Structure 1
């Protein structure tokens, strides 16, 4: 004799099976999510550690459940920018890294930066006495804030700077070693020889800058500034 199971009973049994499977899968999914987020956190901490003394990372996963991501491999889409403040983080998933997930994070780094120790006039050459080192959240500083005294010492202020001002890269320039229109000495070097000749600078420049110069025969070439009114033609 065949026994018919009422529809309501079948629905109840199906619900029990669904809940049972979900109760087994959910912890595994949560563990996978945690493993992915932990890998991202560790990656950001390692990337930012060289920037300061104390690093704090806050992750903002997507509102929806983070998809499964075996063998997560985090990376920064904008690798040239330091991981400070609000950043986007990519995560390559799987052994071949064929799938990529993205999430947002906030990276706070407490580190050193430079401020002016006194008023500085435009055109004044920066010395160590002009500088003071402060510590704070680097994410709150201007993007071009300088953090190392060697980035400033020997450079020239392009505008007046007030005491206690955060020092930024665009406020300084290299000391000018060549002026436009000056007669300069141009060197050409090679294996076992060194030749010099006169030329006219067609632009100003500091050490390491590449500028155009005009030779006696009116030819124009590029050369690199290596000293006061001295340039070299690189091979």
Structure 2
């Protein structure tokens, strides 16, 4: 039997470490009965409250949903007066995961794991069509649509600036929500290209010409040979600029 309930909230911090931040205090009288045991109803309420504290990095509204799975039907749990839910070490309340349940007051102490699914529905950028590796993404390649952010562990790229101008790092199917790791920075110049070298320091800036000694990718390091023959390493700013921090 599955129980589910949705909670809506607006953003703040994301849930990468939520498993460590939820308060693990819970006490509930639990009695075996026909249908769903009382402690599972209480566990549902406890989880609903826990996921309401989840906040994404981006200020995007998410609609949270908690779905309880089933305990192994072969389990024969002894009656328990107090069942405590807890988050197993290393577990996150995100996507398909599990929750621990342990009997604290009963004839027989038991400890079981309940499968659960945490869903987080919100707006994301979704590809309109199939994209091949090496394709430079433009604004026209994706549209906004509601997806389950928690369907995968890697974070959603919620802002266009995170993927526009980037290169697809692998084949991406139509309907795929853009997530971290699916794109990489584009190469903006090749080894041998003429570039502008900008040396910056405290209160000064010097500009000179140079020749790229390696390919240039925005945000990454590249080697540049100056007119005087010196070879220095700087950070690629754009298609014709390398910055040297002094």
Q: Normalising to structure 2: TM-score of the pair?
A: 0.54
Query: Could you tell me which residue of structure 1 aligns to residue 63 of structure 2?
Result: 54
Measured after TM superposition, the shift of residue 234 of structure 1 is 2.3
**Alignment partner of 1:116 is 2:127:** yes
Distance in 2 between the 1:226 and 1:197 partners?
15
Structure that is richer in helix per residue: 1
Most deviating of 149-158 and 129-138: 149-158
Measured after TM superposition, the shift of residue 191 of structure 1 is 3.7
Q: 2:95 aligns with which of 71, 85, 105?
A: 85
Check 1:41–1:231 CA distance in 2 against 1; reply closer, same or farther (3 A cut): same
Q: 1:205 aligns with which of 192, 197, 216?
A: 216
Structure 2 unaligned spans of 5+:
1-25, 30-38, 70-76, 101-112
Distance in 2 between the 1:39 and 1:234 partners?
52
Spell out, residue by residue over 1:9-41, the C-alpha distance to the aligned partner (whole angstroms, 9 max, x if none): xxxxxxxxxxxxxxxxxxx9537x999997775
Structure 1 unaligned spans of 5+:
1-27, 91-102
Check 1:42–1:128 CA distance in 2 against 1; reply closer, same or farther (3 A cut): same
Distance in 1 between the 2:198 and 2:83 partners?
61
**Equivalent pairs, count:** 191
Distance in 2 between the 1:56 and 1:114 partners?
21
Higher relative contact order (CA closer than 8 Å, sequence separation 6+): 2
Query: Could you tell me which residue of structure 2 aligns to residue 172 of structure 1?
Result: 183
Query: Could you tell me which residue of structure 1 aligns to residue 28 of structure 2?
Result: 30
Check 1:84–1:213 CA distance in 2 against 1; reply closer, same or farther (3 A cut): farther
Whether the 8 Å contact between 1:205 and 1:225 is mirrored in structure 2 is yes
Secondary structure (helix, strand or coil) at the match of 2:52 reads helix
Q: 1:232 aligns with which of 236, 239, 243?
A: 243
Distance in 2 between the 1:163 and 1:38 partners?
37
Distance in 2 between the 1:148 and 1:108 partners?
21
Whether the 8 Å contact between 2:95 and 2:152 is mirrored in structure 1 is no
The RMSD of aligned alpha carbons is 4.6
Distance in 2 between the 1:122 and 1:180 partners?
22
| Matching of residues 111-190 of structure 1 within 5 Å | 111-120=122-131, 123-141=134-152, 143=154, 146-158=157-169, 161-190=172-201
Query: Could you tell me which residue of structure 1 aligns to residue 109 of structure 2?
Result: none
